[in-house]
Amino acid sequence: MAEWWRGAVVYQIYPRSFQDSNGDGIGDLAGITARLAHVAELGADAIWLSPLFRSPMADMGYDVSDYCEVDPLFGTLADFDLLVARAHALGLKVILDQVLNHSSDAHPWFADSRARADKADWYVWADAKPDGSPPNNWLSVFGGSAWEWDAGRRQYYLHNFLARQPDLNLHNPEVQKAVEGVLRFWLARGVDGFRLDTVNYYLHDPALRDNPPAPLPADGIPPKSAYDMQDHRFDKTQPENLALLARLRAVCDGFPGTCLLGEVGEVAGRALPIMAEYTRPGRLNMAYSFDLLGDDYSPAHFRAVIEGFFAAAPDGWPYWSFSNHDVTRPVSRWAAHGANPAALARQALALLASLPGTIGLYQGEELGLPETQLDYAELSDPVGLRFWPEIKGRDGCRTPMVWDASANAGFSTARPWLPIKPPQAALNLAAQVTAPDSVWHHARAVLALRRATPPLRLGAVRFLDLSAPLLGMIRNYGDAEVTCVFNLSASPVLLLQAPRGHMSALSEGVEQRGQSLYFTANSFTWFHFAPS
């Protein structure tokens, strides 16, 4: 199927934390290969592998020093080839994380550029102002100025993230050719697509104009991050980016059956038009934002985000997820809305499986893992190390998978690179397999329902005008429709008129009382209807 990604379930694997095969406490490719049957059994259609390229690991692999080599921590290219072969044998597609906005400062390209050699213009360099200050007011996502002074070149270079992650100058046609070559290298090894990191950061305003200030929040209190105090009008999301996306898409079109998924980094409410623009024909196949990765668990929010995307892109195709390697796990993030963590985890999985588009699960989400609470001394993430304790960083969602009740939860025979703590270890896979009412069994069941139900996998969506805390939508495909209703709260609620059709056996906590439906805490139902 050429467009296999439509309606697919993509399972994100964070290689450092999935499975260690050689006893060094760090997950690796051989470990992933050994555990792929778990992903297939869960009911996923594809895996997304976070970066596995050679890297100094200043940002855990998102600082690449060789785009066409596997980091020795994870194995070899031969290990990667075995992983792809095993995934394909299990019916799983392979999506590879590509970090094309920036490289590591240890990349040979950057050494050449700072020396003003053949690749002098491969990164974004600018002169200081007469007083020695940076060229403009642009800020780094990871704190401080987005400009770093280089004493050898006597210029500043741009870094939207760490200073050790200099931005590539993707205005340069030679750089564009180089990144196209990177894609072709991995496509030739059999990958089925790419997740493009920070896809709207690729190009900047060549005139280097200052960003204007962003409006202060309604309460007048500045945000925790100074980065959020700017309207990022000139340092990202430039119109020239569309032509670059078309070039990358053309590369993938040369390998039929491959797809491009883009990460749009923008504040809530402003990402949806960008997603729509980026997924028009000839650009990305799918895009996602952080709109459903935040704290809001209200019916109004879910409806606004989904309707907002399709209003902007009626023929577009979104990718929705509630969890990934950058955000607090949903069971902890939305804890105030759940009667208990397991109930919230089960509802979130059911809701995600009901959304229109392609959906993503982050490793451990199928177990209902909460965020790991770490001490400062246990951190590895540069964000947490810099902004603790107001911002605790991303390590809490990156702790290793919990497979069984053995030492280190079956992840490694050595001390893991991040600690596995009792709340996570207690939710290990082996224990959940033997418990019929576990989150894992529920995850398998709802993904099977989605796979077997065309309206859920491929159908259009229409929201019902229900009062909070109820969220309702109708998914229709052809003559068939499914009505999905969720009580997004820890309190019971009554729906006076039941949807037409018959209630799915997978509905939980919903009781039909005549023409009404009684919803207990975090309950949900699907009503199936097809004309006779």
- For the record, the structure tokens of 506 come out as 């997978």
Nearest to 440 by CA among 519, 363, 527, 521: 363
State the alpha helices, DSSP H only, in 172-263: 173-188, 241-253
User: At CA 355, angle to CA 347 and CA 13, rounded to 5?
Assistant: 75
3-state secondary structure of 482: strand
Annotated active-site positions, please?
197, 266
Cβ neighbours of residue 376 under 8 Å, at least 6 residues apart? 384, 385, 388, 389
AA identity, residue 211: N
Cβ neighbours of residue 273 under 8 Å, at least 6 residues apart? 312
Cβ neighbours of residue 342 under 8 Å, at least 6 residues apart? 368, 439
Number of neighbouring beta carbons within 10 Å of residue 298: 15
- For the record, the structure tokens of 312 come out as 């902007």
Number of neighbouring beta carbons within 10 Å of residue 224: 10
The answer to whether 188 and 181 are in contact (CB under 8 A) is no
Cβ neighbours of residue 1 under 8 Å, at least 6 residues apart? 257
Which neighbouring-strand residues pair with 262? Answer: 196, 287
Nearest to 4 by CA among 257, 371, 286: 257
The answer to whether 459 and 477 are in contact (CB under 8 A) is yes
Q: How far apart are CA 243 and CA 226, in angstroms?
A: 31
CA distances from 212 to 100, 148, 289 (A): 26, 21, 23
User: At CA 63, angle to CA 62 and CA 66, rounded to 5?
Assistant: 110
Q: How far apart are CA 378 and CA 241, in angstroms?
A: 39
Residue 335: phi, psi to the nearest 5?
A: -55, -35
CA distances from 150 to 131, 133, 136, 207, 346 (A): 16, 13, 16, 21, 51
Torsion of CA 100, 105, 107, 109, to 10 degrees: 80
Q: How far apart are CA 461 and CA 380, in angstroms?
A: 41
Q: How far apart are CA 423 and CA 433, in angstroms?
A: 17
